[in-house]
Copies of this chain bind each other. A is one copy, B any other.
Amino acid sequence: MEGLPTRIQLVEVAPRDGLQVEARALDTETKLDLLTRLADAGHTVIETTSFVSPKAVPQLADAEDLLRALKRRAGVRYPVLVPNERGLERALSVGVDEIAVFASASESYSHKNLNRSRADALAGYTPVVRRAKDARLRVRGYLSMVIADPWDGPTAAATVVDCCRQLIDMGCDDLSLGDTSGVGTAAEVDTLLTALAEGGVERTRVAMHFHDTYGQALTNVLAAMRRGITTFDASTGGIGGSPFARMAGGNLATEDLLWLCRGSGIATGVDLDRIVETSHWLGEELAHELPAHTARALRDRAPER
């Protein structure tokens, strides 16, 4: 299909962005099992855990134990989320080689999620990223609410461009732009990505991170692909979402994205059947139905190709 890439890079976020909002705590062994399954399926970038305060996210309180026990596989990157210098020191103490920092393109969400203004949050990351780069870590910059914010309304594309530039200037190697509340639609994604290109943000640095709150996630991926984006965050089973109740939508499901890619001739290196199997297993571990369509369809014996 005209304008579609022949290959995309997936960033699997279920172990961190997915699990962090799950009510049922998984033990470290089960998380290791999940990481193994995801790597076995062919994932090469797996967001592994978070070094935020264990009080804020109890599900990921075992970050050090998890990293110490993890048998890292050659060719697989295991980034972790880091909120500040203290989190970075914790991550460095267990030998991570890639971190992600997370800012917001909107003021309200920055205050709610980070307890700081957007500008203060970005400024606060500058020494974190510098220290990480000094330690030769790869650094990803997350930016939330790039389309709109539930409290502030639409996010100006110019603001997103400015935040992207700041993240790159402080040393981020690449960016993940999140439509955190999932309100965005294809034309809005197209407009944002046009503004980013015009603003000089290289598309090879940009991943898109969509939520399926309004059923738009995969459609937005298609729109982004047509603007040259080739890296997408996705979560096996579609688990995840914001801890704030008003933004309840799950992440884009890895298996639904893989279904699109397989049918449309876009290589990912990730095996659909193994992801579906992992999704079924994860649903049992979490003891609830997961939102992914494809895993449910195949479990219910919907037609194969």
- A positions within 8 Å CB-CB of B: 1-2, 4, 148-151, 153-154, 181-188, 190-191, 212-216, 218-219, 221-223, 245-249, 253, 256, 259-260, 262-266, 292-294, 297, 300-305
**The residue from B181, B188, B259, B301 contacting A302, defined by CB atoms under 8 A apart:** B181
How far apart are the CA atoms of A60 and B290 in the complex, in Å? 33
Task: Given A215-B256, A222-B223, A259-B216, answer yes or no on A301-B246 (Cβ-Cβ < 8 Å).
Answer: yes
**How many copies of this kind of chain does the complex include?**
2
Chain A to chain B: the 6 pairs with minimum beta-carbon distance, closest first: A150-B303, A185-B263, A215-B293, A187-B264, A1-B187, A215-B256
How far apart are the CA atoms of A1 and B263 in the complex, in Å? 24
How far apart are the CA atoms of A301 and B181 in the complex, in Å? 12
Q: Are B188 and A263 in contact (CB under 8 A)?
A: yes
Question: What residues of chain B lie closer than 8 Å to A303, measured between beta carbons?
Answer: 148-151, 181, 183, 246-247
Which chain B residue shows the least CB distance to A147? B263
Question: What residues of chain B lie closer than 8 Å to A214, measured between beta carbons?
Answer: 256, 259, 293-294, 297, 302
